[in-house]
Amino acid sequence: MNQGFLPIRKEDMEAAGIKQLDFVYVCGDAYVDHPSFGHAIISRLLEAHGYRVGIIAQPDWKDETSICALGEPRLGFLVSAGNMDSMVNHYSVSKKRRSSDAFTPGGVMGRRPDYATIVYCNLIRRTYKHTPIIIGGIEASLRRLAHYDYWSDKMKRSILLDSGADIISYGMGERSIVEIADALNSGLAVKDITFVDGTVYKTRNREDIYDAVELPHYERLLADKKEYAKSFYTQYCNTDPFAAKRLFETYDGKLFVVQNPPSKPLSQREMDQIYALPYMRTYHPSYEAAGGVPAITEVKFSLVSNRGCYGGCSFCALTFHQGRIIQTRSHESILAEAEKMVWEPDFKGYIHDVGGPTANFRAPSCKKQLTKGVCPDRQCLFPKPCKNLEADHTDYLKLLRRLRELPNVKKVFIRSGIRYDYLIYDTDRTFLRELCEHHVSGQLKVAPEHISNAVLEKMGKPGVEVYRKFVQAYQEMNRKIGKEQYLVPYLMSSHPGSTLKEAVELAEFLRDLGYMPEQVQDFYPTPSTISTCMYYTGLDPRTMEPVYVATNPHEKAMQRALIQYRNPKNYDLVVEALTKAGRTDLIGYEKSCLIRPKEGRGQNSFKNRDGHTSKAGSKDSYGQKKKMEKKPAKKKTIRNVHKKK
């Protein structure tokens, strides 16, 4: 097994005595040989099974010869856009081009194309007409069937068709990629690999599709958004590897795209083996001159302990990609990685994270999931915790304690997200105590996302009362242990279901909190989420009931401005939003008001809720006398968040 980086040039192949590679992995990210990067896991796993793999990272898609850097592979090309969907990587929610790319040497933007998977596959196909192409990664995985594409505002076909690839390895592809490789190596034609779980293939023979659920054909999806809502929910209900049915959709009445059921979850032993592969744990040295690859910074001293998430947030694609069943590494596997990490020259004593999609999920939500899968028609935590939920942090606590005892370790942080509702459902407060004592550095970031129950219901999040209960428990624990630590809530504007009324409700919550977030996340309609389906169709696919959706950029700006109502730049938007929402009672001088009237705009007075009138007088919008040019009030710091009054 190779003990260095995988080949990226013909010279590397010659040095390793390789005349022809079995697979060439074409990736939209720079080559980082670390288990937090999908291309590293898949290539190292194939290598462990005896296959020779090379990497072409970020080829110049305008130069056809760039795809020939390693020659034609014996078995096929593997193609991925990278760790992110290329469109999310390139554009903000307002569709403005981002200025940097953390997955590119030096953080330079523009080293990969839009819709990278499609572009790379078409580039390969122009040179290698018949070489098998297998696509994977999050971009291919979440676009595996017909989907709504936010950036073009259109329904798009399966990426399998637009890319010209032969097969998709979707989800976490360790099982499926080895099966595909073994099938190709046995001499089987790629068109005949139709039997592997966790794959999507295409065929023109309807009679070859068996035991499958037919989805609405593509032309119906284009004609009727309601049909897409139905199709999407059928897909959503068939994401469990134990219960999912085979699905297929039809194009032009003669071409069929077939999705096999998801791959089975990895056992703990299999997870351990994957993370024990001989990764170099850093970026390729050829990037050193450019300043390295920024994305390594946060993961280099972090530890992955689990996969999967049964949190069920509507705006999250994890159900479609990693699935809802929790898969974990053993303590021994994690400690072995940590023991290597803490002796690296640039380790400063801080383990940045121990977790996964949700840090404090270290076991399936109930015992039956490992044999029967998750419930297709209900969630584990929403709207109320399932009676079979086992909220237990014992195993995670033991792991964290062992990591804290390692030499050279000063602090073990948890940054990948604490599910606060799961934490509060655990009646044993030992984990909360140790979290506050050892794993928080002044502030803990949590994600209530909103506080209006009407919006939270659409988000698949618990009611605000659960969050308030957690806030109280967190504050009480910090008082008990004598620490002054705070909560920083992540909030989202313009999620489906949020009108200006709910946005005002959130602003009032922040007013009472005495906190204005520096950053606000607008809802981002990424492929294959329930929330994106709501955004496109105006329907909740779970109930087929209409959902209010803020799609107008100006209204979205108003909702975002309400969350940051104290920012003077947002004043006009806040006034407009409060006026349209019928809440001009929040413009005035009372303590309950969000903003104050601004003179010179015809806003001499606003009636409050109690019918009294507030006059603008000679004060500006923030109540400062113009003649008294005092220093501005000290900006509230992050430490004021959720501080006990």
Each residue's pLDDT tens digit, 155-173: 999 999 999 999 999 999 9
CA 124 to mean position of chain CA atoms: 29
User: How many CB atoms are located within 10 Å of the residue 527 CB?
Assistant: 23
629 pLDDT above the threshold of 70? no
For residue 595, the 8-state DSSP code is B
Name which residue leads in pLDDT, 609 or 305: 305
**Long-range CB contact pairs, 342-350, < 8 A, 24+:** 342/406, 342/407, 342/408, 342/409, 343/408, 344/301, 347/301, 347/408, 348/410, 349/408, 349/409, 349/410, 349/411, 350/301, 350/409, 350/410, 350/411, 350/412, 350/413
Closest CA to 30 of 15, 21, 40: 40
Q: How far apart are CA 433 and CA 474, in angstroms?
A: 9
Q: Tell me, what's the pLDDT at 5?
A: 97
How much is the average pLDDT of 317-332?
94
606 pLDDT above the threshold of 70? no
Provide the residue ranges of all domains of the chain, joining segments of one domain with +: 10-194, 301-439
> How many angstroms separate the Cα of 87 from the Cα of each of 163, 195, 243, 376, 532?
15, 31, 32, 30, 15
Q: Tell me, what's the pLDDT at 87?
A: 98
Global pTM value: 0.91
User: How many CB atoms are located within 10 Å of the residue 198 CB?
Assistant: 25
Q: Tell me, what's the pLDDT at 518?
A: 78
Q: Tell me, what's the pLDDT at 642?
A: 52
Q: How many Cα atoms occupy the beta-carbon half-sphere of 213 within 13 Å? A: 18
Residue that has been written with the tokens 């020659």 in this structure: 71
Q: 390 with 365: CB under 8 angstroms?
A: yes
3 pLDDT above the threshold of 80? no
Q: Tell me, what's the pLDDT at 369?
A: 84
- Classify domain 301-439 by CATH number: 3.30.750.210
Largest CA distance in the chain: 86
Closest CA to 267 of 356, 194, 321, 333: 333
511 pLDDT above the threshold of 70? yes
Phi, psi of 426 (to 5 degrees): -80, 110
Q: List Cβ neighbours of 123 (8 Å cut-off, separation of 6 or more).
A: 59, 61, 64, 66, 67
Least confident range of 439-448, 489-498, 513-522, 579-588: 513-522
Strand duo 539-540 + 545-546: pairing: antiparallel
Q: Tell me, what's the pLDDT at 346?
A: 92
Q: 352 with 302: CB under 8 angstroms?
A: yes
Q: Tell me, what's the pLDDT at 247?
A: 98
Residue 2: burial class (beta carbons within 10 Å; 0-12, 13-18, 19+): middle
45 pLDDT above the threshold of 50? yes
Q: Is the dihedral of CA 260, 262, 268, 271 positive or negative?
A: positive
Q: List Cβ neighbours of 22 (8 Å cut-off, separation of 6 or more).
A: 46, 51, 52, 53, 73, 74, 75, 181, 185
> How many angstroms separate the Cα of 485 from the Cα of each of 350, 441, 463?
19, 8, 24
How much is the average pLDDT of 70-90?
98
Per-position DSSP letters for 481-513, written without gaps between them: HT---EEEEEEEES-TT--HHHHHHHHHHHHHH
How much is the average pLDDT of 79-90?
97
Q: How far apart are CA 435 and CA 188, in angstroms?
A: 53
**Which tens digits make up the pLDDT trace of 24-40?**
999 999 999 999 999 99
Class of domain 10-194: alpha beta
* Percentage above 70 pLDDT, the chain: 92
For residue 619, the 8-state DSSP code is B
Token pair recorded at residue 638: 């992050």
User: How many CB atoms are located within 10 Å of the residue 9 CB?
Assistant: 14
Q: List Cβ neighbours of 516 (8 Å cut-off, separation of 6 or more).
A: 510, 563, 564, 565, 566, 567, 636
User: How many CB atoms are located within 10 Å of the residue 22 CB?
Assistant: 20
Counting DSSP H helices and E strands in the chain, the numbers are: 23, 26
Q: Tell me, what's the pLDDT at 635?
A: 42
Q: Tell me, what's the pLDDT at 607?
A: 44
Closest CA to 381 of 411, 422, 350, 331: 422
Q: Tell me, what's the pLDDT at 82?
A: 97
Q: How far apart are CA 558 and CA 500, in angstroms?
A: 8
Q: Tell me, what's the pLDDT at 602?
A: 40
> How many angstroms separate the Cα of 180 from the Cα of each of 44, 195, 377?
15, 10, 32
Strand duo 443-449 + 411-412: pairing: unpaired
283 pLDDT above the threshold of 50? yes
**Which tens digits make up the pLDDT trace of 382-424?**
989 999 999 999 999 999 999 999 999 999 999 888 999 999 9
* pLDDT confidence bin for 372, thresholds 50/70/90: confident
User: How many CB atoms are located within 10 Å of the residue 270 CB?
Assistant: 14
Strand duo 327-328 + 133-136: pairing: unpaired
**Which tens digits make up the pLDDT trace of 561-605?**
999 999 999 999 999 999 999 999 999 999 999 999 986 344 434
**Which tens digits make up the pLDDT trace of 92-151?**
999 999 999 999 999 999 999 999 999 999 999 999 999 999 999 999 999 999 999 999
Token pair recorded at residue 620: 């500006």
Coil, helix or strand at residue 587 = strand
Q: How far apart are CA 588 and CA 623, in angstroms?
A: 9
What's the chain's average pLDDT? 91
